[in-house]
């Protein structure tokens, strides 16, 4: 049945591809800035009530075909008030936009049938231009969003294997898996890596945001509401849409560099973006990017205090000479190159062919724990690396090679009669391969007297192929419809490592993927969806959406949503929504089997642990059910108001309940018995299947997240004759609680806790419970000055020894300052200082009993606020031509 539907989809794609609707009339015009009279390139021009639109060119000019008159032209641009002009005949129009706040910009996210402004939308949506994102001086897209969007959080994770190269990110504190990321409205493939170490988002899979180059992005739209009924799995916390540059009016070249006040972490980036003509009226937007960063180190200095009582002379000398015990705790080395193209070409008068392609390759090097000489006396006594009396230990490096590419081709068609169709095919893939250097296979060394020092432990890949066919129809000013079909095929591969990387316990720091742990898995799902908007009056809007999905590996799901908006005159609106949502367990979570060294609070050094696939016989014997979809209930309500052309405010409140949340369990092992000597039924199962301890993925958590987003914007405050001050205050307050943990009967009967309180803490208190961002931007002639303050709320280190040993880390304020000087209209230089006052998190107390590892970590490796970089100095130049 699914194959038949898929074949019909492609037949319909071919039929619609030939549809050409000839416009009868043409509107031409010019868009200018009202304050200066200068042409305004890149403004959005849309025929009201339709998806027919274009953008203004370098000189502010545009041309737009319409079926007939009269029509209303809606013009919007970031930082300007939206203007509407009625056009009654074929003519040239001149439209001047007034400076203002970004409340009336036309956005497409969150509504498939007809474009709406942020003010018109029944759900909260942010529309952030790339200049806003880059103005703060942050070097990566994750950091830019963290310091711009209060409910978004991401920080680098030190000493966390491949997780250190992905930086888990989340929205509204719901974990990396519950935010859907789109590029130009098309689903971005997830990363190949599961975050298995003790970091926020442990056990989850996110999107590799580093694979989307900043220079290719025009703006970022963020829908802060549940949207599974509209977009499918993962959209529980919200949706982020990276809108690529299409017809950029300038070619741009930029270069930027930075370094910390400690003299490490040097980074350099350069990129180039241009638009080239393509055929008759088509465009090719082309981006090249390069980024390089060096490591930072914020390790503690326990020195000789870490030595055992029987320390050898060489061990004492080493600890005296290396008080940091050889540790590297900080961001990894990273080198990245990007190529992106975004191509479009008109077909006939009102249809458009489009395709975009992105390829990113990056390499990185992070560090594992330094293997202190007194931890590895077996290696020392083998006289392998050095004579035993000179042995100084070794520090394995964890090196990654990550490739990510995204390819989309499609046709956007105006079928006439206000019917539109969009047919597309998407292919995305993320590949990560590992290298472990400066390591030893201790088992192989013990048996053979030698060992390799470099290992290739294998890696993972995730790919998807997605076919979409979307329809929309504006029946009248009151009723608009959207609907469509989606077919998706996903592939997950675990690639075997070289034999010596998994021989015995495997290479020290990261064991290779064994033959029985490798494999190829796939699944498919089919979706059908529909939405209806009913503008009952100019003020009152009611909308509904319904989506059905059927997955080949666990079953089906139906999600729905209702929302509404009531305008308060032409100044504001009250909005609310209620929706159900879902998140399909990923192929990684279903099939991953591996062994690796992880940080364990009770041990001074990393220990080897095993993860078994959800359908492994040992896991099934413990009563763990097959994974199925998480489900959610999402309620939000808010108000937005435009007090003047320059001052707006909005407040939105939300409550999100997630049932059957997929968790990565705690270790389940022997309690009183031992291998070969089990003492309870659970140990009998472990003994029967030859495993000493297991971890697994299980639908077991029910959580509730409540919070609020508050945003105030005040622009164009006159300072002197020519100066203008823009200010904004944005805040998020949130709290996540775990309502229940469901333990399988076999494990519960024997008193096993499948989710220890330290694991719960990663969900409830590892991210700030609040974040407040206050920004000031001053512009005067050629000079621009920015002052940005970001207050990260409290987080808590959860102790494995009990709540009395927990440590609450106080709120931290990061202050950034920017100075920009425009030497010409085309050339500017920007200097920024991030974290001006060199603020760090609170020092972790040893009494927490967490992975401080004998004071090797000064700051917690498990919870995150503002990171561990300290002050960073940056310089950037931008040239457009």
DSSP symbols for 245-314: PSS-SS-EEEEEEEEETTS---EEEEEEEEEEEETTTEEEEEEEEEEEE-----B---GGGG--TT--HH
Alpha-carbon separation of residue 494 from 194, 652, 693 (angstroms): 12, 42, 22
Alpha-carbon separation of residue 426 from 217, 357, 429, 808 (angstroms): 19, 10, 10, 45
Query: Model confidence over 585-612: pLDDT tens digits?
Result: 999 999 999 876 555 555 556 555 678 8
Query: Model confidence over 368-410: pLDDT tens digits?
Result: 999 999 999 999 999 999 999 999 999 999 999 999 999 999 9
Return the SS3 of 512: coil
The alpha carbon dihedral of 673, 677, 680, 681 has a sign of positive
Q: How is domain 100-880 classified at the CATH fold level?
A: Maltoporin; Chain A (2.40.170)
CA neighbor of 696 nearest in space, from 671, 747, 662, 672: 662
Sequence-separated (6 or more) residues with CB below 8 Å from residue 743? 700, 752, 753, 754
Which residues of the chain, if any, have pLDDT below 70?
1-24, 35-36, 49-51, 58, 78-79, 99-108, 111-117, 596-609, 851
Every domain of the chain and the residues it spans: 1-99, 100-880
Q: What is the 3-state secondary structure (H, E, C) of 352-369?
A: EEEEEEEEEEEEEEEECC
Tokens of 263: 């003299």
Query: Model confidence over 344-376: pLDDT tens digits?
Result: 999 988 899 999 999 999 999 999 999 999 999
CATH class label, 1-99: mainly beta
DSSP symbols for 125-194: EEEEEHHHHHTT--SSHHHHHHTT-TTEEE---SS-GGGGGT--EEETTS-GGGEEEEETTEEPPPPS--
CA neighbor of 366 nearest in space, from 142, 166, 160: 160
Query: Model confidence over 642-694: pLDDT tens digits?
Result: 998 889 999 999 999 999 999 999 989 888 888 888 999 998 988 888 777 88
Residue 744 CA from chain centroid, whole number: 32
Q: How many CB atoms lie within 10 A of CB 281?
A: 12
Pair 82, 76: CB distance under 8 Å: yes
Pair 521, 492: CB distance under 8 Å: yes
Pair 78, 67: CB distance under 8 Å: no
Predicted pLDDT at 114? 60
Pair 444, 503: CB distance under 8 Å: yes
Q: How many CB atoms lie within 10 A of CB 721?
A: 6
Predicted pLDDT at 469? 97
Return the SS3 of 220: strand
Phi, psi of 625 (to 5 degrees): -75, 160
Query: What's the CA gap between 145 and 207, in Å, rounded?
Result: 14
What mean pLDDT is reported for the chain? Answer: 90
Within this chain, domains 1-99 and 100-880 share the same CATH topology: no
Residue 41 CA from chain centroid, whole number: 30
Q: Which residue has the tokens 């405010």?
A: 649
Whether the model pTM is above 0.95: no
């Amino acid at each position: 049945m699914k194959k038949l539907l898929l074949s019909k989809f492609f037949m319909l794609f071919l039929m619609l591809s030939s549809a050409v609707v000839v416009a009868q009339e043409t509107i031409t015009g010019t868009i200018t800035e009202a304050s200066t009279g200068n042409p305004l390139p890149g403004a959005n021009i849309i025929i009201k009530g339709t998806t027919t639109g274009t953008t203004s060119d370098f000189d502010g000019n545009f041309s737009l075909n319409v079926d007939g008159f009269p029509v209303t032209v809606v013009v919007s641009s970031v930082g300007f008030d939206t203007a509407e002009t009625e056009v009654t005949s074929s003519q040239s129009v001149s439209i001047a936009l007034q400076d203002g706040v970004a409340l009336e910009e036309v956005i497409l996210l969150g509504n498939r049938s007809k474009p709406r402004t942020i003010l018109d939308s029944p759900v909260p949506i942010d529309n952030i231009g790339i200049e806003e994102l880059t103005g703060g001086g942050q070097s990566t897209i994750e950091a830019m969003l963290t310091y711009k969007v209060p409910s978004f959080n991401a920080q680098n994770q030190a000493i966390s294997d491949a997780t250190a190269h992905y930086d888990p990110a989340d929205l509204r504190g719901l974990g990396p898996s519950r935010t859907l990321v789109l590029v130009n409205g098309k689903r971005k493939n997830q990363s190949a890596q599961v975050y298995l170490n003790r970091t926020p988002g442990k056990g989850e899979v996110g999107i590799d945001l580093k694979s989307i180059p900043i220079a290719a992005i025009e703006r970022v739209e963020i829908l802060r509401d549940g949207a599974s009924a509209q977009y499918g799995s993962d959209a529980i916390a919200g949706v982020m849409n990276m809108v690529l540059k299409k017809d950029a009016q300038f070619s741009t070249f930029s270069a930027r560099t930075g370094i910390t006040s400690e003299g490490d972490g040097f980074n350099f980036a350069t990129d180039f973006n241009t638009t080239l003509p393509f055929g008759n009226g088509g465009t090719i937007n082309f981006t090249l990017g390069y980024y390089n960063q060096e490591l930072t180190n914020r390790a503690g200095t326990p020195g000789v205090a870490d030595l055992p009582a029987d320390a050898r002379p060489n061990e004492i000398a080493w600890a005296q000479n290396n008080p940091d015990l050889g540790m590297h705790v900080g961001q990894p080395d990273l080198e990245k190159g990007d190529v992106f193209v975004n191509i479009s070409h008109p077909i006939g008068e009102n249809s458009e062919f489009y395709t975009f392609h992105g390829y990113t390759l990056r390499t990185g090097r992070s560090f594992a724990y330094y293997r202190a000489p007194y931890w590895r006396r077996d290696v020392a006594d083998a006289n392998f690396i050095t004579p035993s009396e000179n042995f100084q230990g070794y520090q394995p490096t964890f090196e990654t090679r990550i490739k990510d590419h995204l390819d989309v081709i499609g046709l956007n068609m105006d079928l006439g009669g206000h019917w539109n169709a969009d047919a597309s095919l998407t292919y995305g893939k993320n590949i990560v391969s590992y290298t472990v250097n400066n390591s030893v296979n201790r088992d192989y060394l013990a048996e053979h007297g030698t060992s390799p020092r470099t290992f290739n432990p294998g890696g993972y890949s995730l790919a998807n192929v997605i076919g979409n066919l979307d329809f929309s129809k504006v029946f009248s000013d009151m009723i608009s419809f959207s609907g469509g079909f989606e077919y998706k095929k996903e592939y997950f591969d675990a690639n075997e490592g070289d034999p010596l990387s998994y021989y015995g316990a495997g290479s020290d720091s990261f064991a290779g993927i064994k033959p029985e742990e490798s494999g190829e898995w796939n699944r498919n799902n089919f979706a059908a969806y529909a939405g209806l908007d009913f503008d009952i009056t100019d003020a009152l809007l009611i909308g509904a959406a319904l989506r059905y999905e059927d997955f080949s590996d666990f079953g089906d799901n139906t999600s729905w949503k209702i929302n509404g908006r009531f305008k308060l005159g032409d100044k504001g609106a009250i909005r609310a929504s209620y929706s159900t949502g879902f998140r399909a367990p990923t192929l990684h979570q279903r099939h991953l089997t591996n062994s690796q060294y992880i940080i364990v609070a009770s041990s001074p050094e990393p220990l080897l642990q095993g993860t078994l696939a959800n359908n492994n016989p040992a896991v099934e014997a413990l009563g763990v059910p097959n994974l199925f979809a998480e489900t959610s209930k999402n309620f939000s309500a808010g108000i937005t108001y435009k007090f003047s052309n320059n001052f707006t405010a909005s407040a939105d409140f939300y409550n999100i309940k997630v049932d059957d949340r997929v968790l990565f369990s705690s270790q389940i092992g022997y309690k009183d018995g031992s291998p070969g000597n089990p003492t309870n039924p659970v140990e009998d199962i472990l003994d029967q299947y030859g495993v000493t301890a297991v971890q697994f993925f299980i639908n077991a958590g029910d959580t509730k997240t409540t919070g609020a987003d508050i945003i105030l914007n005040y622009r164009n405050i006159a300072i002197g004759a020519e100066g203008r001050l823009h200010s904004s205050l944005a805040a998020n307050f949130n709290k996540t609680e775990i309502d229940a943990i469901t333990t399988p009967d076999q494990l519960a009967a024997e008193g096993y806790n499948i989710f220890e309180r330290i694991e719960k803490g990663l969900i409830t208190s590892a991210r700030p419970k609040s974040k407040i961002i206050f920004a000031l931007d001053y512009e005067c002639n050629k000079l621009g000055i920015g002052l940005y303050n970001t207050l990260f709320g409290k987080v808590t280190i959860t102790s494995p020894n009990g709540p009395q040993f927990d440590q609450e880390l106080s709120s931290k304020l990061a202050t950034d300052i920017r100075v920009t000087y425009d030497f010409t209209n085309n050339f500017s230089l920007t200097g920024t200082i991030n974290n001006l006052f060199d603020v760090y998190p609170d020092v972790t107390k040893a009494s927490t009993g967490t992975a401080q590892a004998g004071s090797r970590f000064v700051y917690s490796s498990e919870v995150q606020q503002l990171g561990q970089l300290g002050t960073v100095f940056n310089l950037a130049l931008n040239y457009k031509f």
